[in-house]
């Protein structure tokens, strides 16, 4: 083991910090159909499968030199076509998330100004100011993003704890376990799968963990990923407990317009705790935008072969941020829908492709007789099960968004 190798807890904090963000704002809305008990069940299932798909990437990555990218792993094991599909899926997810964060930021900023300063700022203008300011920060460089993200993550967790303390103090067991309305909740679980998948997705960071810990750190990486997953699960469970214990289930059937604003207005909190909730939402959107923006910025720069000069970075910034900003201004109230589409493509690159990659990698190892130093949990059949989970999540989203199956989307229209 390397001297001075990073701690497991440090890696777990990085993993949890990558997952916990603006996506969790959508979870109470998309879980309204199945409500609290089924929500916890789906989160447990999601945690299990996303942990396994991350370990499958790790198993393959540990057979490659430190610094090998996810793109390299896919191309070497599945070929050029699969790497193109994978690259497109990653880019699409990042673009659609940036659109969602521009739209979500407009809602959060507009709401905060109206509540605290009695200022009625148009939502598109709020989103434009948000996107322009943070785009300049990403253009400035990764070091600037890293420093401000560290401060914002700390602020996000502090305000989240404060908001949750207010929410938990007024939780109603009746609202949690005896909701009004019909009682066949299980079918709605399918509609939530892509949203939870997105909220537990950090898999592009696994190669960074290998570089961070070294190829001999497989067990420590597995432990860090697992602890990070469970910390995220606990955060989400408490968040859902606080929201669902304060908002009546039947009221979700009558959401109109901006879903985020509706959700915040439906939670009865004192002025202090409401401000903490607003600040948390803002910090969550900012940190998520910076993370997705930096990832897409680097991807576009590499794809288009732009240099790192001011002009080259300006070209990259235009391609990266202008399309989602225009969409965020012209297609309002799409935050929840966008996160769902991100989940559709995230199912491809973070679940289905890792399963296929590890199967191809194991076949190569068997032919070459090369011993494996690390194996993902679950044995030889688990990759097939993980792939099946990814397919179910993707198909569920298509049923809701393409065919508009009433049984699945009754509560998220």
236-264 confidence digits (pLDDT tens): 999 999 999 999 888 887 776 778 888 88
Q: Which tokens go with 157?
A: 């967790």
* Cα 116 from Cα 109, distance rounded (Å): 11
* Cα 197 from Cα 89, distance rounded (Å): 14
Please, how many CA atoms are within 13 Å of residue 220, restricted to the half-sphere of its CB? 18
188 occurs within a structural domain: yes
138 occurs within a structural domain: yes
212 occurs within a structural domain: yes
Q: Are 281 and 258 in contact (CB under 8 A)?
A: no
393 occurs within a structural domain: yes
Domain count, the chain: 1
Q: What is the DSSP secondary-structure string of 327-396? A: HHHHSTT-HHHHHHHHHHHHHIIIIIHHHHHHHHHHHHHHHHTPPPS---TTGGGHHHHHHHHHHHHHHH
297 occurs within a structural domain: yes
The per-residue pLDDT of the chain, averaged, comes to 87
pLDDT, tens digit only, all 413 positions of the chain:
444 567 888 888 888 888 888 889 899 999 988 889 999 999 999 999 999 999 999 999 999 988 788 888 999 999 999 999 998 998 899 999 999 999 989 888 988 888 777 888 888 999 999 999 999 988 887 677 777 887 888 898 899 999 999 999 889 888 888 776 556 777 888 889 999 999 999 888 898 888 888 888 889 999 999 999 999 999 999 999 999 999 988 888 777 677 888 888 888 888 899 889 989 989 989 988 988 888 888 888 877 888 888 899 899 999 999 999 999 888 888 888 888 889 999 999 999 999 999 999 999 998 887 777 899 999 899 999 999 999 999 999 888 877 655 544 544 44
Instruction: Output the pTM of the full model.
Output: 0.86
The pLDDT, as a whole number, for residue 181 is: 57
Task: Look up the domain containing 404 and give its range.
Answer: 8-408
322 occurs within a structural domain: yes
* Cα 163 from Cα 61, distance rounded (Å): 39
Residue 370, domain CATH: 1.20.1740.10
Q: Is the dihedral of CA 212, 216, 218, 219 positive or negative?
A: negative
The pLDDT, as a whole number, for residue 278 is: 87
The pLDDT, as a whole number, for residue 407 is: 43
The pLDDT, as a whole number, for residue 49 is: 97
Rounded CA Rg of the chain: 21
The pLDDT, as a whole number, for residue 40 is: 95
1 occurs within a structural domain: no
Q: Which tokens go with 306?
A: 């732009």
* Cα 383 from Cα 389, distance rounded (Å): 10
Dihedral angle, C-alpha 75, 77, 79, 82, nearest 10 °: -70
The pLDDT, as a whole number, for residue 405 is: 53
183 occurs within a structural domain: yes
């Amino acid at each position: 083991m390397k001297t001075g190798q990073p701690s497991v807890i440090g890696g777990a904090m990085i993993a949890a910090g990558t997952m916990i963000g603006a996506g969790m704002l959508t979870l109470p809305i998309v879980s309204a159909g199945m409500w609290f008990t089924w929500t916890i069940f789906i989160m447990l299932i999601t945690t299990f499968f996303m942990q396994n798909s991350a370990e499958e990437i790790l198993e393959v990555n540990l057979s490659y030199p430190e610094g090998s990218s996810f793109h390299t792993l896919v191309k070497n094991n599945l070929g050029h076509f699969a790497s193109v599909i994978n690259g497109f899926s990653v880019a699409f997810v990042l673009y659609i998330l940036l659109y969602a964060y521009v739209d979500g930021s407009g809602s959060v900023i507009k709401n905060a100004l109206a509540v605290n300063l009695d200022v009625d700022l148009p939502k598109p203008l709020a989103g434009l100011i948000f996107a322009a300011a943070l785009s300049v920060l990403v253009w400035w460089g990764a070091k600037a993003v890293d420093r401000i993200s560290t401060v914002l993550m700390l602020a996000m967790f502090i305000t989240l704890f404060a908001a949750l303390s207010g929410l938990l103090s007024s939780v109603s067991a009746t609202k949690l376990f005896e909701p009004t309305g019909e009682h066949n909740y299980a079918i709605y679980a399918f509609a939530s799968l892509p949203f939870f998948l997105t909220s537990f997705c950090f898999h592009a960071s696994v190669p960074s963990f290998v570089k961070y810990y070294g190829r001999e750190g497989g067990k420590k990486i597995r432990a860090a990923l697992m602890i990070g997953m469970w910390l995220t699960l606990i955060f989400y469970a408490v968040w859902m407990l606080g929201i669902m214990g304060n908002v009546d289930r039947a009221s979700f059937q009558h959401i109109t317009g901006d879903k985020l604003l509706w959700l915040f207005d439906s939670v009865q909190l004192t002025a202090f705790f409401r401000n903490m909730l607003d600040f948390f939402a803002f910090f969550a959107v900012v940190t998520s935008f910076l993370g997705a923006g930096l990832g897409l910025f680097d991807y576009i720069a590499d794809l288009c072969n732009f240099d790192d000069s001011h002009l080259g970075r300006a070209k990259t910034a235009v391609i990266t941020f202008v399309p989602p900003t225009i969409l965020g201004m012209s297609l309002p109230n799409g935050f929840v829908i966008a996160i769902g589409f991100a989940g559709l493509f995230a199912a491809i690159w973070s679940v289905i492709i890792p399963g296929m990659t590890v199967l191809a990698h194991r076949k190569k190892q068997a032919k070459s007789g090369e011993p494996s130093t690390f194996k993902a949990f679950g044995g030889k059949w688990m990759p097939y099960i993980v792939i099946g989970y990814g397919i179910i999540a993707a198909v569920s989203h298509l049923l809701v968004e393409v065919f508009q199956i009433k049984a699945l989307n009754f509560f998220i229209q």
